Amino acid sequence: MLDRFFELTGRGTTVGREVRGGVTTFVAMAYIILLNPIILAGATDVTGARLSIAQLTTSTALAAAVSTLLMAFIGNAPFGLAAGLGLNAVVAYQAAPHMTWAQAMGLVVLEGLVIIVLAVTGLRTLIMNAIPLALKHAISVGIGLFIALIGLVDAGFVARGTGTPVQLGVTGHLVGWPVTVFCFGLLLMIALYVRRTPAAILISIIVTACLAILVNSLARVPRGSWGVVTPRVPERLISAPDFGLAGAFDPFGGFARAGALTAAVVLFTLVLSGFFDAMGTIIGVSDEAGLVDERGQVPRLGRILTVDGVAGMVGGALSSSSNTVFVESAAGVGEGARTGLASVVTGALLGLTLLFTPLAAVVTSAAAAPALVLVGALMMMQSKNVPWDDLDLAVPAFLTIALMPFTYSITNGVGAGVIAYTLVKAARGRFSEIPWLLWIVSLIFVAYFAIDWLEELFGRR
């Protein structure tokens, strides 16, 4: 029954591989259950109100579980969904200062609704299919570099420099137990993976997490060195969920409170970031999983995109910010996930964290980050599919790849690549090779990059 419903044989996978992949995706993205509340609770709304950490933790886990299970049964794709980083920052620092939290979350619900309309009408699929295959491979490579950088930064291996934008470690050198634990985990993971050890990524994460707990208990590690999660044996295993934020949203109040222009700019930013972040992640992770066909298209794309929009609405309705496809799904794909069965496992584990929230504090970044680095290296292999000897594609592909890690945004990379491709083809007089939708998408991205200037221009009027 599982084979027929999830097409296991057709996609060349097994129940065991899907379970391992689902667990790995959960472990790689579980940090969001702790990080998202910290980001949202760190800001105040226009009235000075703050959201509760306990309630945000419950909302984040519940929204992620519901969204991921929807993707499993409707999209049949190995994607975990949760509150999107970047999107939550827009809610906390762009929306909340001008409106109440309920009104900000109402805009998130509207964002999800807009994305659903774009998906149901087929427009979102048309846009994705209009992007050249070479750029889709470049998106995969760019995401690989992006998630590798996320892993290196989270582990403290790479940090903001004093005389340079980034540097090796916090001081320019590798110091401290957390970085040491990360290096051990990365080397162990590489060794197990190249030996084709089953569950290599998952085994490495578990072993490294246990080592981190041991080191933290025996060594003098300065407070805060581990990042968001300090590895320690939890004092209790079970805690009661607090659903106080569920349903606390106001879809249209933000337009009255902050003004139509300000609310529209926030909504535009949410839609554009959610649209293209998810698009880039879906393309990149699907490419890595071998789910992209010879035309560069993803099976069941319409359903996947619709679920992504519904997830945005779920996140807003539960006050966890917009939920979207998580790039950490690539870790599960690296472990063998190919179908929605892996998402069933991921979603079930996310649901369990509602009761076992203290366990989410066990896996520190030093233990999970090596998976992002290794998967980033694996996704780099897609670069061989980019025709680097074709200048029309090489320049847009390079900008797509480079700007994702350099600007810490998938959307920025996709936007730069699309604009560059359209410009290059137009400059060479090859207008017939530019799909009409790319003209529109390019103009939208131009507006996206110039959003502050446009807001200031029209705000004055």
Give 51-81 pLDDT, tens digit per residue: 988 889 899 999 999 999 999 999 999 999 9
370/183 Cα distance (integer angstroms): 8
Q: Pick from 67, 88, 89: which is nearest to 79 by CA?
A: 67
414/235 Cα distance (integer angstroms): 44
Give 384-412 pLDDT, tens digit per residue: 889 999 999 999 999 999 998 998 887 78
Q: What number of other Cβ atoms are within 10 A of residue 198's Cβ?
A: 12
pLDDT at 296 over 80: no
Query: What CA–CA distances, in Å, run from 365 to 220, 374, 424?
Result: 18, 14, 41
Query: What CA–CA distances, in Å, run from 194 to 190, 201, 407?
Result: 6, 11, 31
Query: pLDDT > 90: what percent of the chain?
Result: 42
Q: Pick from 335, 323, 294: which is nearest to 115 by CA?
A: 323
pLDDT at res. 459: 61
Give me the mean pLDDT over the 423-448 stretch. Answer: 91
Give 140-150 pLDDT, tens digit per residue: 888 889 888 98
Query: What CA–CA distances, in Å, run from 347 to 19, 26, 67, 70?
Result: 11, 8, 8, 9
Query: pLDDT > 70: what percent of the chain?
Result: 98
Give me the mean pLDDT over the 201-217 stretch. Answer: 89
More confident residue, 338 or 280: 338
pLDDT at res. 461: 52
pLDDT at 119 over 90: no
| 87, two tokens | 């999107």
pLDDT at res. 258: 85
pLDDT at 288 over 60: yes
Among 66-70, 140-144, 190-194, 420-424, which is the least confidently predicted range?
Answer: 140-144
**Biggest alpha carbon distance in the chain?**
67
Give me the mean pLDDT over the 297-314 stretch. Answer: 90
The number of C-alpha atoms within 13 Å of 161 and in the hemisphere containing its C-beta is 8
Residue pair 434/422 in contact (Cβ under 8 Å)? The answer is yes
| 103, two tokens | 């009104």
Mean pLDDT of the chain: 87
Give me the mean pLDDT over the 319-335 stretch. Answer: 89
pLDDT at res. 195: 92
Give 225-253 pLDDT, tens digit per residue: 887 778 888 777 788 888 999 999 999 99
pLDDT at res. 360: 60
pLDDT at 460 over 60: no
Q: What number of other Cβ atoms are within 10 A of residue 239's Cβ?
A: 17
Q: Which residues pair with 158 in a beta bridge?
A: 168
pLDDT at 451 over 80: no
Give me the mean pLDDT over the 293-307 stretch. Answer: 82
Among 75-84, 88-97, 107-116, which is the least confidently predicted range?
Answer: 88-97
Give me the mean pLDDT over the 296-301 stretch. Answer: 79
Residue pair 400/414 in contact (Cβ under 8 Å)? The answer is yes
pLDDT at 422 over 60: yes
Give me the mean pLDDT over the 296-305 stretch. Answer: 83
pLDDT at res. 221: 86
More confident residue, 62 or 372: 62
Q: Pick from 89, 87, 68: which is nearest to 77 by CA?
A: 68
pLDDT at res. 390: 93
pLDDT tier for residue 361 given thresholds of 50, 70 and 90? low
Q: What number of other Cβ atoms are within 10 A of residue 214's Cβ?
A: 12
Backbone angles phi, psi at 81, to 5 degrees: -125, 145
| 48, two tokens | 């000075």
Query: What CA–CA distances, in Å, run from 15 to 2, 33, 75, 160?
Result: 8, 27, 18, 42
3-state secondary structure the chain: CHHHHHCCCCCCCCHHHHHHHHHHHHHHHCCHHHHHHHHHHCCCCCCCCCCCHHHHHHHHHHHHHHHHHHHHHHHCCCCCEEECCCHHHHHHHHHHHHCCHHHHHHHHHHHHHHHHHHHHCCHHHHHHHHCCHHHHHHHHHHHHHHHHHHHHHHCCCEEECCCCCEEECCCCCCCCHHHHHHHHHHHHHHHHHHCCCCCHHHHHHHHHHHHHHHHHHHCCCCCCCCCCCCCCCCCCCCCCCCCCCCCCCCCCHHHHHHCHHHHHHHHHHHHHHHHHHHHHHHHHHHHHCCCCCCCCCCCCHHHHHHHHHHHHHHHHHCCCCCEEECCCHHHHHHCCCCCHHHHHHHHHHHHHCCCCHHHHHCCCHHHHHHHHHHHHHHHHHHHHHCCCCCHHHHHHHHHHHHHHHHHCCHHHHHHHHHHHHHHHHHHCCCHHHCCHHHHHHHHHHHHHHCHHHHHHHHHHC
Rg (CA), the chain: 21
More confident residue, 346 or 238: 346
Give 16-31 pLDDT, tens digit per residue: 999 999 999 998 888 7
pLDDT at res. 247: 93
